[in-house]
Structure 1
Amino acid sequence: MKMHLAELNVGRLLAPTDDPRVADFMANLDRVNGLGKRMPGFVWMMEGSGEPGQGNTAAKIGGDPQFVSNLTVWEDVDSLETFVWKTVHKQFYDRRAEWFEVLGKMHFVMWWVPAGHQPTLAEALEKLAHKQEHGDSDAAFGWSYLKDANAWKTHGCAQVAAE
């Protein structure tokens, strides 16, 4: 059975989505998400409200409007790595401290899904909780668990942030 790579990235904005402090981030969501959707190896992305400039910010976690998530599926590790570390996405990743709180626990997880499967946010949050509780495993993991993943090591991602 062909497997694809799912990933969830969770963050809590420093301010509400309409606040000037996060305006640059919000203004570029459609651009960065649109680029991701056009990348070779992109399979699927959880969509938000559909409103321009809102990205997936409609998918609130725990009812908190400042908790936002990005849930995507990719054909393979290389495709996701290329998007994350070798496109304009990296510039926004590098600026994340301008817009997001530093979370005290893991906020990123990946796992393999059967080709054609579109994970739900609930499923993804379960994977994140599994990784937080058990660490890297075949069920849920970070970049360092993937033998084929190397770009995160050379593109300025600290081990703690990459996991």
Structure 2
Amino acid sequence: MEDRFQLAQVNIARAKAPLDHPIMKGFVDRLDHINELAEQSPGFVWRLQTEAGDATAIKAFDDELIIVNLSVWDSFESLKKYVYTGEHVTLIKNKKSWFDPLNAPSLALWWIAEGHIPTVESAKARLEALQEKGSTPEAFTFARPYPAPNQATAPRVRLA
């Protein structure tokens, strides 16, 4: 039986202010809708969330203004389609209104065994690996993706 893999993704952002500050209203007002869009998107498997329905209360870093998003998708293509098409693109375009740039990678992708749920700690380790080594099978980006381990002989996927 062939092992099956899914794609985990983590992205972090440093808010310009606490989420209850008026400058963050445009982001906070869209958060539930964007999370619903993700959950309804083809290929969505799982996302990190608290009882409140999102992950903004999870403080994974010493900096209280850094928020974390962690999710699992059935393929690279399904995540790429969600991120770069539809309403999510509008959110990305407005990112500078709500978030400050980071001096380290803010997004990492990696393959996990089907059914595995990644932890915040493992996600932080993937961001650190990307910072230290660049894009590798351990942690990669949309710009430099790697195939799932069971597809190692397949051609590497490239963004157009």
TM > 0.5 fold call:
yes
What is aligned with 1:78?
Answer: 77
Which residue pairs with 2:4 in the alignment? 2
Q: How do 1:34-113 residues align onto structure 2 when only pairs under 5 Å count? A: 34-48=36-50, 50-51=51-52, 55-113=54-112
Question: How far off is 1:105 after superposition?
Answer: 1.4
The CA distance in 1 between the partners of 2:61 and 2:11, in whole Å, is 15
Question: Runs of at least 4 residues of structure 1 off by over 3 A?
Answer: none
Q: Residues 149 and 71 of structure 1: is their aligned pair in 2 closer, same or farther, counting only changes over 3 Å?
A: farther
- Gap runs ≥5 in structure 2: 146-155
Aligned residues: 148
Hey, what does 2:125 align to over in structure 1? Answer: 126
- AA aligned opposite 1:101: D
Instruction: Tell me, in whole angstroms, the C-alpha distance in 2 between the residues paired with 1:149 and 1:8.
Output: 20
Gaps of 5+ in 1: 154-163
Matched residue of 2:110: which SS? strand
- State the match for 2:157 in structure 1: 148
Q: Matches of 2:25 and 2:93 in 1, distance apart?
A: 16
- In the other structure, the counterpart of 1:159 is none
Is residue 77–residue 149 contact of structure 1 (8 Å, CA) maintained in 2? no
TM-score (norm 2): 0.88
Report the identity percentage: 31
Q: Which of 20, 24, 39 lines up with 2:22 in the alignment?
A: 20
Larger proportion of helix = 1
Scaled by the length of structure 1, the TM-score of the pair is 0.86
Partners in 2 of 1:65 and 1:104 — Cα distance? 16
User: Considering only CA atoms, is the larger Rg found in Structure 1 or Structure 2?
Assistant: 2
Q: Deviation string for 1:11-57 (max 9, x for gaps)?
A: 11000010000011011111001110111100110113x326xx211
Distance 1:5 1:87, change over 3 A: same
AA matched with 1:59: I
Once superposed, what is the RMSD of the aligned Cα atoms? 1.3
Which amino acid counterpart does residue 78 of structure 1 have in structure 2?
E
